[in-house]
Amino acid sequence: MSSIDTKLPDAEDLLHTLAQKLQPLLQANTALVGIQSGGVWLMERLLVLLKKDISSNAIEHGTLDVSFYRDDFEKRGLKAENRPSQIPFEVENKHIILIDDVFYTGRTTRAAMNELFDYGRPASITLVALVNRGGRELPIAPQITAADITLDASQNLQLIRDADGTLSLTLQPSTATTQTNQADHKHE
């Protein structure tokens, strides 16, 4: 790992910051949706941290794998291990809180929103990301983040989960040739 790694914030600290910021949004008729895979890890942790608010408001949750909605499907194809999206509740008229790990170009968010609308018409969508690393390519931005850092396009910020469930951030040189591609490889 490069020395730049040491400057990265601690993902576990960020998670608690994110939980605090998210708490006021947990009201009736709200549902959480995690984007595979980092967003789902975060959601699983948030479900525990915010257990009280979630159960008192009967907040449901689901997961999205946006592989079938990506705008670069033709270049990348399908991953071998795509997981079925699971939205076990009525999306129609719900306030959806969409959770992702690293916000970059906004293309993953666009794909996730397109998929959500195929389940129904939500009342609203709020985007929550652990880190906004800058570099968006679309008029989409997260409303809630725990950290905002600016990274070069040659760097690839990833959320990692250890065997014991601890979350951490790592920085790697980007392998993809185009900016768009490398952002979208962050889950792999």
Partner 1 sequence: MNNPQLDSDGRLRHLLSIEGLPKKILNQILDTAESFVGIAEREVKKVPLLRGKTVCNLFFENSTRTRTTFEIAAKRLSADVISLNVNTSSQSKGETILDTVDNLIAMHADMFVVRHSQSGAAHFIAKHVPNHIHVINAGDGRHSHPTQGLLDMFTIRKYKPDLHNLRVAIVGDVLHSRVARSEIHALTTLGVPEVRVIAPKTLLPAQVEKLGVHVFHDMKAGLKDVDVVMMLRLQNERMNGAMLPSAQEYFKTYGLTQEKLNLAKPDAIVLHPGPMNRGVEIDSSVADGNQSVILPQVTYGIAVRMAVMAILAGGG
Q: Where on the chain is the footprint of partner 1 (CB under 8 A)?
A: 65, 67-69, 73-74, 76-78, 80-86, 91-92, 114-115, 117-120
C-alpha distances (whole Å) from 65 to each of 106, 168, 177 are 15, 21, 24
Smallest distance, partner 1 to C-beta of residue 74, A = 7
Nearer residue to partner 1 within complex by CB, 21 or 76? 76
Nearer residue to partner 1 within complex by CB, 98 or 151? 98
Smallest distance, partner 1 to C-beta of residue 62, A = 11
Sheet holding 95-103, edge to edge: 60-64, 30-35, 95-103, 124-132, 144-148
Smallest distance, partner 1 to C-beta of residue 83, A = 7
Q: Which of 42, 141, 34 is nearest to 88 (CA)?
A: 34
Nearer residue to partner 1 within complex by CB, 154 or 177? 177
Tokens of 55: 């159960």
